[in-house]
Amino acid sequence: MRRYLYLWHRWLGIGLCLFMALWFFSGMVMLYVGYPKLTPREHLAHLPTLSLQDSYVDLDTALRSADAERNPASIRLSQVAGMPRYLFSYSGRASVAVDAGSGQRLPPIDREQALASARQYDPEATASYRGAVNEDLWSHSRALDAERPLQRVQLDDAERTLLYISGNTGEVVRDASAMERGWNLVGAWLHWLYPLRGIGVDGLWSNLVIYLSLAGTLMALLGAVIGILRWRLRKPYRSGSRSPYRGVARWHHIGGLLFGVLAISWVFSGLMSMNPWKLFSSSAPLNVSAYQGAPLTAAAFPLSAADALARFDQQGFKARELEWRLIGGAGYLIGHEGAGRTRVLSMADGQVLERLPLEVLERAAQAILPQGRMHSEQLEAYDFYYYARAEQSMLGHLEKRLPVLRVRVDDPQQTWLHLDLYTGEVLGVLDQPRRVSRWLFSLLHSWDWLPLLQQRPLWDAWMIAFSLGGLVLSVSGVVLGWRRLSK
């Protein structure tokens, strides 16, 4: 039986140790340089303030121009390429832009529009057009699907920023500095095996990552068993050592004993990140559409964009973007400022609020499950299921402000909702499978454990030390595999 353990571990290792080494090395890079993205704060920082002097067509006109037959999932007013535009997103469809001055739906973005958007993003930099792409190295994210094709513009700023501009609306939807692009070649792009994409195997990419991770987990488990079996606690080997190996093999043996458990947990949690075989997909997910209370139409918003901007301005709030939102059937206009601050304008009484009343959110949440019981609590501090991450991390761009309202729904999946008191947005829907994923992926893979995460650089030292241990273990495995194949 032992012989088969050794054979399985050896041949799995020959095939997989190089992947393991790449995962450990690229994982360390990802601690500090994430895959390129445009965060909400970056987006707002590069927008000019919406002008009080501009004339804006009414929302009903803009909606009819965008798509008279479909209700949008979101509506925003923003400055794009130097002009105000209504921006509409639709579930499963391309985004649409409407000129806020004329009310005309805009055609697909061309070269000149892309350059104008880049000049708004950075008026001081010279912009060079780099053509349109559907998808490339830095735009694999599914979040960009509604904006494709993407127009690329290179800036000559200090960061050598490459901009990706929506081919449908003209918005800048991603920025990638030269440093991000360079480090990501050995960071996230390598870690997620993105080199396998764009070469004709895109449809197989997910399964390739899943089964490589599964094989890696099995290999690491077998190695841990063999390592324990070969280590002598009582009687040393003739050499006086408790390990029978020498040289690189000895490094591999001892490295496995020291770092094997973490290696197993990291490759296993990486497997869990792919949601293999839909393990974390609920069989009966809670439908939260009733939280909005009605389709997003102009009827719920009697105040115009110009009136809203004037009321925000009276409060000393300079809005750079407006967002129309329905909460429990009631209309609210959310104003976004450059520093990430928000204000809420109620359509019911015209009041400008810093935060929405708790009862408004609780009443809207109750509409999701009218006959069900709900328990709500206001969180004043982060906890295991609601916390912020560094901007460069995979989900670090998501705003996690405090306080936040947590609503526990008594549905079959015991779903939790996190509701933003500042905007009314549903920040997260956590049912039982997703809470399990929080343990098996986020905790095991990036050590999102608050007592450690909030004590940097202790978290950094922990992650780097054990990543280096895993790298030594993997590289020594590569050397041993190469020697075996060379015989």
Residue 74 predicted with pLDDT over 90: yes
| Residue ranges of domains in the chain | 2-33+199-280+473-486, 40-186, 289-430
pLDDT band per the 50, 70, 90 thresholds, residue 239? confident
Looking at residues 33-38, what average pLDDT do you find?
95
pLDDT at 267: 95
DSSP-derived secondary structure letter, 424: -
Helix (H/G/I), strand (E/B), else coil: 295: coil
Q: What is the secondary structure of 333-402 as a DSSP string?
A: EEEE-TTS-EEEEETTT--EESS--HHHHHHHHHTTSTTS-EEEEEESS-BTTB----TTSTTTTS---S
Looking at residues 111-119, what average pLDDT do you find?
97
Kindly report the length of the chain: 487
pLDDT at 213: 94
Residue 198 predicted with pLDDT over 80: no
Residues 171-192 pLDDT 10s: 999 999 999 999 999 999 999 9
Cα angle value 33/115/105 (rounded, 5°)? 110
CA distance 213 to 89: 35
Looking at residues 344-349, what average pLDDT do you find?
96
pLDDT band per the 50, 70, 90 thresholds, residue 199? low
CA distance 25 to 48: 40
How many whole angstroms from its chain centre is CA 352? 31
CA distance 343 to 335: 5
Nearest Cα to 23, choosing from 250, 219, 179? 219
Residues 306-335 pLDDT 10s: 999 999 999 999 999 999 999 999 999 999
Residues 353-388 pLDDT 10s: 999 999 999 999 999 998 889 999 999 999 999 999
pLDDT at 201: 62
Residue 216 predicted with pLDDT over 90: yes
CB atoms < 10 A from the CB of 471, how many?
21
Looking at residues 472-482, what average pLDDT do you find?
92
Looking at residues 446-451, what average pLDDT do you find?
92
What is the overall mean pLDDT for the chain?
93
Residue 197 predicted with pLDDT over 80: no
pLDDT band per the 50, 70, 90 thresholds, residue 351? very high
CA distance 211 to 258: 26
Residue 299 predicted with pLDDT over 70: yes
